[in-house]
Structure 1
Amino acid sequence: MGYRADQACAEGSGWSDQRRRESVPGCDRAGTVLYYTFVIKLARFYNLPVYLYSQGVGPLHTSFARFAVRSALKHVEGSVRDAESRDLLRDIGVRKDFPVIPDPVLEQYIRTEDEDDWISSQGIPSPVITVSLRDWNGSDHYKKSLAATLDHFSTKGYAIVFVSMHGSPDSQVAEEVSHLMEEKAWISPSFLSLRAKATIIARSELLIGMRLHSLIFAANAEVPFAALSYDPKIDAFARELDQPLLGNINDKKETWDVDKMTSTLEYLLGRADYDEYCDKIGMMTKAATRTAESALRYFRHHI
């Protein structure tokens, strides 16, 4: 038996023609943009209403990718998740204006409970610094400097805990960095629930993160973070909350200066701007609720 959808909603994963290891099957050479724009075009072929749900867009390096996005977004309503996505759509000739509304995950507070507290179950001492890494096109030039930076804080009494957000590939990168460290570190199992992972981050004083959702979990828990960028969406989210970037792993000229990274993290741990950070989180969370409200109004209008 076949089923026919009544509406289509595009959200979350960024539209990009940047090649990556975790690409959509069949789209590894063109990134994710061809897959997602095809789905939208297919929905429009069947006259389904399509809503762009706080979508990230870019980078789009090729003229074909820019054409695919421009064509797909005709007769589509919705929002984008950051100013960079909005500006890119304008630059490639998308006439419809898509308002900026933060990632909807920000409004989804993940309740943390003692039963999910993996840190306590492992007897890990406080205070804790959490680290969320991912593999990215074989980049490894930052790892020695990061390991040395983490060693510095470990000698200052911080427990270093790696959070595997996305399965065994994240755990493998965490193991590579931990093996470069001289001090002890812990790696959380990749099979833990999202609530358990959110709890680990919430129990920490600071997160160093590559995964966007690790940064979002930190923001939800009002935990300061420093980002390791591999994608414009990381830069955009950090910029929205005025949190620092330790560096961009795609930049071969990045120095990964240990003293500079250490100074940045010490500043965050001092929480000089913590109240402003929390205020920004509150404003972004409130704005994120508008995404669901706008989508519901749109679909109700098209029922």
Structure 2
Amino acid sequence: MTNANGPTVGVLGSYGGMNLGDEAILTSLLGDLRQRRPDAHVVVFSRNPEYTQVAFPDIEATGWEGVNRERMAEALCRLDLLILGGGGILYNTEARRYLRLVAEAQECGVPVFTYAVGAGPLTDGVDCGLTRETLQKALEVTVRDEGSKLALEEAGVRCPVTVTADPAMLLQPEEFCRDALRTEGVPDGWRMIGMSVREPGRAAQSLDVDAYHQLLAHVADFLVHRLDAQLVFVPMERQDIAHSHAVLSYMSAADRGRVLNNNYRPCQVLGLMRHLDLAVGMRLHFLIFAAIAGVPVLPLPYAGKVFDFAKEIGAPSLGGVVREAAGPLLAEVDRLWDERWLRIRDTTSRLAGLRERAALTGERLSQHLERIMPVPA
């Protein structure tokens, strides 16, 4: 476990198994922290502490939702440092939930470090006020992309904000064997396309849900026939399964599509990516995993964070799902396939810089921990 004489470090974010991207961030954060400070005792504030404790048995997991203030104060006041993030948690109506805990920690005299956090949209008065108040008192503020830095600045944050990169950039894959794909009903002997879909949200405000699913089904059919391939839907949240099946139901080539239904760890999904020939999707960490694995990617942006990532890796970023006509998107898919080797080389080169920036977050955290509690000689 940990050295009783080391620092006690809290980690607060959207953790608890509801989203593979968030769990990827936590996996990377904890792995980096263990490497730099093996003497640390880590307390993860989780939305599902039982899940988190099983997933990470060498840390302490505790709940924070629905917990009274006295109990939370007791848990927070024993920390030597609280990490806020990473991931997209500072946005309207949600930011206040996390930042109230941050404010309580600061009242207890606990220093706070924001770890490659994602921010925006952030315009609500309550959320902006809490963001300004708490981050101004933080040891350091690091964010994962330029869009998050801009969102904090527009919310009135005046302290320095450092742009690093998403912690998931540092993940290493676990083996994902062909047998696992066969178990999911994916046959051998075909090219394989990965696809990630989610609820429409802001990505398709002009379309009703049926039209949205039909549009994605049109894209999926084109991919299957253009590449003579099998299509694998990769859910990053459980609700993605229903949207994947809805898209599949509108496909003319539905027999060439499969939806992954088993539960996988982030590093396993990263391992799955090596089987793909092309990745098209909406979820940020699906795209990050594909890019890390050297798979040509076409983002379908539904939020600024996806646009930012597409720009960083030089990927096309057509907002195809906000159009009622799929033509421009299909043309971009066609171009991506024809230019795939050039795109892969360019993306691989750009990822090296993103990994360096991702590692910087842990380096900065380690420096602050060293000042708070030096490593024993």
Tell me the TM-score range normalised by the shorter chain: 0.7 to 0.9
Asked if 1:201 corresponds to 2:263, the answer is no
Question: Which runs of 5 or more structure 1 residues have no equivalent in the other structure?
Answer: 19-29
Q: 1:257 aligns with which of 325, 340, 348?
A: 325
Deviation at 1:129? 0.9
Deviation string, structure 1 residues 186-227 (Cα, Å, up to 9, x no partner): 111142333332233331112112222111111211212222
Equivalent runs, 1:69-88 vs 2, <5 Å: 69-76=131-138, 77-88=140-151
| One-letter amino acid matched to 2:233 | F
Q: Which residue of 1 aligns with 2:293?
A: 221
Deviation at 1:248? 6.7
Change in Cα spacing, 1:194 to 1:9, as seen in structure 2 (3 Å) is: same
Deviation at 1:120? 4.8
Q: What secondary structure sits across from 2:299 in the alignment?
A: strand
Q: Which residue of 1 aligns with 2:87?
A: 13
Q: What secondary structure sits across from 2:287 in the alignment?
A: helix
Which TM-score applies when normalising by structure 1? 0.86
| One-letter amino acid matched to 1:118 | A
Q: Which is further off, 222-231 or 286-295?
A: 222-231
Provide the rounded CA distance (Å) in 2 between the counterparts of 1:100 and 1:150.
Answer: 35
| One-letter amino acid matched to 2:314 | D
Provide the rounded CA distance (Å) in 2 between the counterparts of 1:199 and 1:148.
Answer: 28
Q: Which residue of 2 aligns with 1:21?
A: none
Provide the rounded CA distance (Å) in 1 between the counterparts of 2:299 and 2:324.
Answer: 13
Provide the rounded CA distance (Å) in 2 between the counterparts of 1:241 and 1:142.
Answer: 27
Runs of 4+ in 1 over 6 A off after TM superposition: none
Q: Which residue of 1 aligns with 2:258?
A: 186
Deviation at 1:136? 4.5
Deviation at 1:16? 4.2
Deviation string, structure 1 residues 55-87 (Cα, Å, up to 9, x no partner): 111111223322221111022113110011112
Change in Cα spacing, 1:10 to 1:213, as seen in structure 2 (3 Å) is: same
Is residue 8–residue 51 contact of structure 1 (8 Å, CA) maintained in 2?
A: yes
Q: 1:273 aligns with which of 333, 336, 343?
A: 343
Is residue 192–residue 232 contact of structure 2 (8 Å, CA) maintained in 1?
A: yes
Q: How many positions carry a matched residue from both structures? A: 285
| One-letter amino acid matched to 2:292 | N
Q: Of Structure 1 and Structure 2, which has the larger fraction of its residues in helix?
A: 2
Which TM-score applies when normalising by structure 2? 0.70
RMSD (Å) for aligned C-alpha atoms = 2.2
Change in Cα spacing, 1:43 to 1:5, as seen in structure 2 (3 Å) is: same
Change in Cα spacing, 1:189 to 1:74, as seen in structure 2 (3 Å) is: same
Q: Which residue of 2 aligns with 1:39?
A: 101
| One-letter amino acid matched to 2:248 | S
Is residue 165–residue 190 contact of structure 1 (8 Å, CA) maintained in 2?
A: no
Deviation at 1:245? 2.5
Q: What secondary structure sits across from 1:192 in the alignment?
A: coil
Q: 1:129 aligns with which of 178, 193, 198?
A: 193
- Determine what percentage of the aligned residue pairs are the same residue: 25
Q: Which residue of 1 aligns with 2:216?
A: 146
